[in-house]
Amino acid sequence: MNFPTLWLGAGVYAAEEASLSHKYTPPDSQGLCTMFVMRVCLGDVFTTQNKMQNLKRPPCKELCQTTCILHNEFFDSVVGEFQQREFVVYDGAKCYPEYVIEYKVIQ
């Protein structure tokens, strides 16, 4: 199974559509896949249609700056406007898992 590239860097990914989340979900040795239904606090969102694979945190609000000095100068999350929207936060504390879903794909 080929997994999608993390187009928006190293973070916690969420999606509106379960079909996108499934692409990131490898089956275990028994063929079970695990997916979370969660609440995500997105805050002040940076939206992009470009791949930004080196991100370790959201970009500066002043995009011309290469470094931000104050914490409030950063966006809180990134939304990738690709074929399906991807939401990324770079702090796991901004996610609250409500349900764990285990499922098996029937061929």
Cα Rg for the chain, rounded, in angstroms?
15
Question: Tokens representing 85?
Answer: 């929207």
Question: Tokens representing 75?
Answer: 């966006």
In angstroms, rounded to a whole number, what is the distance separating the alpha carbons of residues 104 and 73? 43
Q: Is the pLDDT of residue 102 over 70?
A: yes
Q: How confident is the model at residue 87 (pLDDT cuts 50, 70, 90)?
A: very high
Tell me the mean pLDDT in the region 76-102.
95
Class of domain 12-104: alpha beta
Q: Is the pLDDT of residue 42 over 90?
A: yes
pLDDT score at 67: 63
Q: What is the DSSP letter of 93?
A: G
Q: What is the DSSP letter of 72?
A: G
Q: How confident is the model at residue 30 (pLDDT cuts 50, 70, 90)?
A: very high
Q: How confident is the model at residue 16 (pLDDT cuts 50, 70, 90)?
A: very high
Q: How confident is the model at residue 6 (pLDDT cuts 50, 70, 90)?
A: confident
* pTM of this structure: 0.83
Any idea of the CA torsion for 100, 40, 12, 58, to the nearest 10 degrees? 180
